[in-house]
């Protein structure tokens, strides 16, 4: 079928739907919702049989939805309407929620229902929920709706609030006054719900040291206590604030834009506060200790049945110079442990999206900070590539992009959850790319395929990635099922009689590859190009990065997306 995806941005869910539909043989076009006339022209040119909107914040014009069937993905159960569905669900502590596919009509979210899917609400931020449970339910609902449409016989169900299975209702925009935290009254559970309902956008507006900030993130703390609202400690760029009955960690802040002033963006909390942050103590925690505590940490390390697990979780998957260095130190420490198999990866969300473009943007010298950041990433990747006495598995429960994909490819095996979307390319940020991708990517998929992936700059679903050899396995199920399978398979690897032979073969292969062309040569040639990307005045990287960090909408659908 010819299906046109219309979306406010080519975001994770739209990418996932794109990958899933293409895998099923549909011809899929993409049009960003950047104006009714653009959309009309594209619809005329593309001649879709069905229009599908996985993530749309604006209305489709009437002449389009009267002439075509337009299906909208709404992140709420039957009857739920309004622009802040997930915010309300989390704010009110809902434990079960849903995704509904509705036909576009004049009233927003009021059209006939084509499919609906329930999901359990995990205790996490809104965008993490969106990229996990919501995305999985949305894909199930979309595939059902598309199949129903294809039969030509399905009659969608009109929205009827008298039906017993219609529990939702119309709710207003979730304004800041619902989100406001009263630090002298709200308990930790309430503070966490408010923070999570606002994460990652728009954050909770609050005041710190006389300045207004949007607070981002929201994680519990088991030990630190103090005067409600006070900043008690810092850790790896985050701040810890006391509540009436505990404390919470806030990894990132965005200062409120002053009218007429420059646009603002999220930064690690201690960077955003800068000199306003008084002398508060650091509260360090080792990865091994963090794994046994209920506290915020980007790094956790534990061992189970002879397997080491190094878990990392960086907000938005972005890894600054410091974050890369901390992960490298934790990796080196894990390498000293008496385990033969080491599993790397976050519990649920992004695996990695490469260098930290916001931290780079905020630095006094973005070119030099970019240089430090890519070198820190390379040091980490090199440490993984040169580990020859252990088998290293990259476990991707969530998506990865750019250098984050290449970080995974440094491992001996790459295991992905089936829902994962990979973006193995750098071109959209105006970068040649590094992280030894010129060694690892062709090694996995061959030179021609590597060239296509880098040039086309399109997302690849996990199953397609496994077919290409880009990853080794695409495992079904939710994140819990994924991790229980990863644990079982990692334990089997560690117990297997062939393990010793595999390690010998790995060592031999690395030595052979090194003799053919040393890793240092790959690094030097990649970095020569990156140096040019960072320092040459004619290069597009700085402008593209600025637009990304400031979330500048493109004027038209980017050409690489209009190819079907």
Give the footprint of ligand COA on this chain (CB under 6 A).
11-12, 127, 200-201, 266, 316-318, 353-358, 399, 401-403, 423, 426, 429, 431
Cα separation values, 463 from 16, 24, 417, 468, Å? 11, 11, 9, 9
Residue 43 or 410 having the CB closest to ligand COA: 410
**Closer by beta carbon to ligand COA, 247 or else 355:** 355
CB of 561 to ligand COA, least distance (A): 12
Residue with Cβ nearer ligand COA (186 or 199): 199
Q: Which one, 188 or 562, has the nearer CB to ligand COA? A: 562
Rounded CA-CA distance 116/97 in Å is 10
Taking the least distance from each CB to ligand COA, the nearer of 200 and 529 is: 200
Phi and psi, residue 540, nearest 5° = -85, -10
The three-state secondary structure class of 509 is helix
Least gap, CB of 125 to ligand COA (angstroms): 9
Determine how many CB atoms are found less than 10 A away from the CB of residue 476: 12
CB 366 within 8 A of CB 545: yes
Shortest reach from residue 80's CB to ligand COA, in Å: 23
**Cα angle, residue 329 at apex, residues 324 and 335 outer, rounded to 5°:** 120
Nearer to ligand COA, 249 or 301 (CB): 249
Residue 199 to residues 87, 359, 362, Cα–Cα distance (Å): 9, 19, 21
| Number of CB atoms found within 10 A of residue 328's CB | 18
What's the closest the beta carbon of residue 520 comes to ligand COA, in angstroms? Answer: 20
Least CB distance from residue 491 to ligand COA, whole Å?
31
Query: Could you give the CA distance from residue 53 to residue 163 in angstroms, rounded to a whole number?
Result: 26
The pair of structure tokens assigned to 326 is 């901390």
Phi, psi (degrees; rounded to nearest 5) at 441: -70, -50
Measured from the CB of residue 411, what is the shortest distance to ligand COA in angstroms? Answer: 17
455's torsion region: left (phi>0), alpha (psi -120 to 50) or beta?
Answer: alpha
Number of neighbouring beta carbons within 10 Å of residue 430 = 14
At CA 203, angle to CA 183 and CA 254, rounded to 5?
100
- Which residue's CB is nearer to ligand COA, number 201 or number 484? 201
- In terms of CB distance, is 100 or 423 closer to ligand COA? 423
Q: Are 384 and 312 in contact (CB under 8 A)?
A: no
**Which CB sits closer to ligand COA, 318 or 474?**
318
**Least separation, in Å, of the C-beta of 444 and ligand COA?**
18
Q: What is the DSSP letter of 114?
A: E
Are β-strands 460-461 and 252-255 bridged in parallel, bridged antiparallel, or unpaired?
A: unpaired
Burial class (CB in 10 A: 0-12, 13-18, 19+), 303: middle
Q: Which is nearer to ligand COA, 242 or 250 (CB)?
A: 250
CB of 12 to ligand COA, least distance (A): 3
Q: What minimum distance in Å lies between the beta carbon of 359 and ligand COA?
A: 7
* Residue 266: HSE in the Cβ half-sphere, 13 Å Cα cutoff: 22
DSSP codes, 204-273: EEEEETTEEEEEE--EE-SS---STT-EEEEETTEEEEE-SSSEEEE-EEEEPPPTTS-----EEHHHHH
Q: Give least dist CB 376 to ligand COA, A.
A: 12
Q: Which is nearer to ligand COA, 9 or 280 (CB)?
A: 9
Cβ 503 vs Cβ 389: under 8 Å = yes
Contact present, 218 and 179 (Cβ < 8 Å): no
C-alpha–C-alpha distance, residues 532 and 527, integer Å = 8
Q: With contact defined as beta carbons under 8 Å apart, do 408 and 437 qualify? A: no
Q: Which is nearer to ligand COA, 1 or 34 (CB)?
A: 34
Please identify, using beta-carbon distances, which residue of 309 and 439 lies nearer to ligand COA.
Answer: 439
Shortest distance in whole angstroms from residue 316 CB to ligand COA = 2
Task: Report, in Å, the least distance between residue 4 CB and ligand COA.
Answer: 19
Nearest approach, Cβ of 354 to ligand COA (angstroms)? 2
Min. distance of Cβ 286 from ligand COA in angstroms? 26
Pair type for strands 307-312 and 299-304: antiparallel
- Closer CB to ligand COA, 149 or 219, in the complex: 219
Phi then psi for 502, rounded to 5 degrees?
-60, -40
């Amino acid at each position: 079928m010819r299906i046109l995806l219309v979306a406010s941005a080519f975001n994770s869910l739209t990418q996932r739907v794109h990958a899933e539909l293409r895998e099923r043989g549909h011809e899929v076009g993409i049009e960003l919702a950047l104006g009714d006339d653009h959309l009309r022209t594209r619809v005329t040119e593309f001649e879709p049989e069905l229009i599908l909107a996985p993530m749309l914040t604006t209305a489709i014009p009437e002449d389009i939805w009267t002439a075509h069937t337009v299906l909208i993905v709404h992140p709420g159960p039957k009857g739920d309407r309004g622009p802040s569905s997930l915010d309300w669900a989390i704010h009110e502590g809902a434990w079960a929620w849903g995704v509904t596919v509705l036909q576009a009509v004049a009233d927003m979210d009021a059209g006939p229902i084509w499919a609906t899917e329930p999901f359990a609400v995990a205790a996490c931020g809104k965008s993490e929920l969106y990229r996990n449970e919501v995305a999985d339910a949305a894909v199930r609902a979309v595939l059902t709706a598309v199949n129903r449409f294809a039969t030509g016989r399905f009659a969608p169900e009109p929205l009827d609030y008298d039906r017993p299975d219609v529990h939702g209702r119309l709710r207003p925009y979730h304004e800041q006054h619902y989100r406001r935290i009263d630090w002298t009254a709200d308990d930790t559970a309430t503070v966490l719900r408010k923070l999570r309902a606002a994460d990652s956008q728009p954050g909770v507006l609050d005041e710190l040291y006389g300045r207004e900030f949007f607070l981002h993130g929201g994680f519990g703390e088991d030990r630190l206590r103090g005067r409600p609202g006070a900043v008690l400690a810092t850790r790896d760029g985050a701040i810890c604030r006391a509540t009436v009955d505990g404390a919470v960690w806030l990894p990132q802040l965005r200062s409120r834009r002053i009218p007429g002033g420059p646009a603002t963006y999220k930064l690690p909390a201690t960077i955003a506060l800068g000199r306003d942050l008084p002398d508060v103590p650091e509260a360090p925690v080792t990865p091994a200790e963090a794994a046994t505590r209920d506290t915020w940490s980007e790094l956790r390390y534990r061992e189970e049945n002879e397997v080491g697990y190094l878990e990392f979780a960086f907000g938005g998957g972005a890894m600054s110079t410091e974050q890369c260095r901390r992960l490298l130190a934790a990796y080196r420490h894990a390498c000293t442990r008496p385990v033969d198999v080491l599993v790397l990866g976050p519990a649920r969300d992004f695996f990695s999206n490469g260098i930290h473009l916001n931290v780079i943007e905020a630095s006094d010298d973005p070119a030099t900070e970019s240089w430090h950041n890519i070198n820190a990433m390379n040091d980490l990747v090199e440490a993984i590539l040169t580990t020859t006495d252990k088998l290293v598995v990259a476990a991707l429960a969530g998506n990865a992009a750019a250098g984050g994909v290449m970080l995974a490819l440094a491992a001996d095996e790459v295991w992905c959850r089936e829902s994962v979307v990979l973006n193995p390319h750098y071109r959209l940020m105006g970068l040649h790319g590094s992280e030894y991708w010129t060694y690892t990517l062709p090694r996995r998929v061959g030179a021609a395929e590597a060239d296509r992936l880098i040039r086309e700059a399109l997302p690849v679903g996990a199953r397609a990635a496994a077919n290409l050899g880009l990853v080794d396995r695409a495992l079904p199920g939710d994140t819990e099922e994924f991790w229980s399978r990863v644990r079982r398979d990692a334990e089997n690897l560690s117990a297997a009689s062939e393990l010793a032979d595999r390690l010998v073969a790995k060592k031999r292969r690395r030595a052979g590859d090194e003799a053919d062309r040393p890793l240092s040569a790959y690094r030097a040639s990649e970095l020569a190009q990156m140096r040019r990307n960072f320092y040459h005045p004619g290069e597009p990287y700085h402008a593209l990065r600025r637009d990304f960090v400031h979330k500048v909408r493109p004027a038209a659908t980017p050409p690489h997306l209009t190819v079907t």
